[in-house]
Structure 1
Amino acid sequence: MRIISGKYKGRRITPPKGLPVRPTTDMSKEALFNVLNNHFNFEGLKVLDLFSGTGNISYEFASRGSSPITSVDGDFGCVKFIKQTAAQFDFNIAAVKSDIFKFLEKNNATYDIIFADPPYDFDQATFEKIVLMIIEKNSLNEDGMMIIEHSKYTKLDHMMHFSFKKSYGGSIFSFFEPNITEEILDGDGEEE
């Protein structure tokens, strides 16, 4: 995996084998950040990366100047690797080992961007629970954005504050914004 932009553009990061992850592909990651580029100046953004795995998305935000970043994953190996990589690159990333739902329950901080990449085999209700918990806890800043990565079999465009979605290969990114209401949508939820 490589960092595609920012201070550490082109740097390769090699996670240890055997981590229980499905990293976001470089193509999808590049497309995601092209979308975010139209909405944000990354410098100083406060970011929460849920189900962070190898930290792929966190490093991309950090390389572009976002700080502080909180990366949460339930796997000890993933969290250890993120801590090591953050120290190596001097990224302001706090890696937290926690069950995501317990973390969201206790968390009182707010963020500019929340990115979640749950296992694709979670059922529909579990994906919806993630969205609802973040909305109900007001974890997003007013002009912030939440992005959920999921497969085409999961549908989130009926959820409150859904803004638009983008699909890349087998991955879909659903975007949510606190200031979006259902009336603004154009019907199919695909961004023009």
Structure 2
Amino acid sequence: MSRIIAGAAGGISLANVPGDRTRPTTDRVKEALFSRLDAYGVLAGARVLDLFAGSGALGVESASRGAAEVDLVEQSEKAAGVCRRNAGLVNRALGRTVVRVSRSGVQPFLDRLHSHDQWDLVLMDPPYPLPEPELAEVLRTLAPRLAEGAVVVVERSSRSPGPHWPAGLERFAEKKYGETRLWYAEPAGRD
């Protein structure tokens, strides 16, 4: 059972997706990730997009820590149901609707966005078997939808190759935590 680590909804237990088709981010990795994001100052008032959301744990953690809007995108009906449950828990704790859930594939979701939709933080934890060209296409589609100062975080197996960053995105950090590696990127050519 995972939980919200900190913020307004800190301590709330979250539902997990049953079975072994998703792998929840460990509390250790989640704590390190959000400590870094807090240090970057990207959470307060942010528009957050959690792609391949699984249970939505990363997105709802963002909401608890001060994000203004969070969209969880998950294709699996079972996982999207868990996202809806966890979003409801956090929205009730916050007293307003911050977290929304879209049951959709990631690429179709991105393709439907309006040109003015922009994100301050994008969290991506794609399934390990997702082919690298598909991940690269998601990143390419995402790049023009990032606000100034945005951060993109990709979580993959530490044995996976690093993501291919398209024009418009550049990696600025990475960190390994056992079997998990996090890559951080930002819009290219921005401070």
For the aligned pair, the TM-score class normalised by the smaller chain equals 0.7 to 0.9
SS in 1 for 2:172: strand
Instruction: Provide the TM-score with structure 1 as the length reference.
Output: 0.85
- TM-superposed CA distance for 1:141, in Å, is 0.3
SS in 1 for 2:14: coil
- TM-superposed CA distance for 1:62, in Å, is 1.0
Higher share in strand? 2
List aligned pairs for 1:1-192, cutoff 5 A: 1-15=2-16, 17-18=18-19, 20-40=21-41, 42-90=43-91, 91-108=97-114, 109-135=117-143, 138-152=144-158, 153-156=160-163, 159=166, 160-180=169-189
Using the alignment, how far apart are the partners of 1:43 and 1:162 within structure 2?
22
Q: How many residues align?
A: 180
- TM-superposed CA distance for 1:65, in Å, is 1.6
SS in 1 for 2:151: strand
Q: Once superposed, what is the RMSD of the aligned Cα atoms? A: 2.0
Deviations 1:88-129 (A, max 9, x none): 332511100111111111223111001111001222222222
Using the alignment, how far apart are the partners of 1:180 and 1:5 within structure 2?
33
- 8 Å CA contact 1:19–1:78 kept in 2: the answer is no
- TM-superposed CA distance for 1:156, in Å, is 2.5
- TM-superposed CA distance for 1:132, in Å, is 1.4
Using the alignment, how far apart are the partners of 2:12 and 2:98 within structure 1?
17
- TM-superposed CA distance for 1:73, in Å, is 0.5
Using the alignment, how far apart are the partners of 2:90 and 2:138 within structure 1?
30
SS in 2 for 1:161: strand
- 8 Å CA contact 1:113–1:146 kept in 2: the answer is yes
Instruction: Provide the TM-score with structure 2 as the length reference.
Output: 0.86
Structure 1 residues 157 and 20 mapped into 2: Cα distance closer, same or farther (>3 Å)? Answer: closer
Structure 1: give runs of 5+ residues left out of the alignment: 185-192
- TM-superposed CA distance for 1:43, in Å, is 2.4
Deviations 1:123-151 (A, max 9, x none): 2222222221211xx11101111111112
Question: Which 4+ residue blocks in structure 1 deviate beyond 6 angstroms?
Answer: none
- 8 Å CA contact 2:75–2:103 kept in 1: the answer is yes
SS in 2 for 1:21: coil
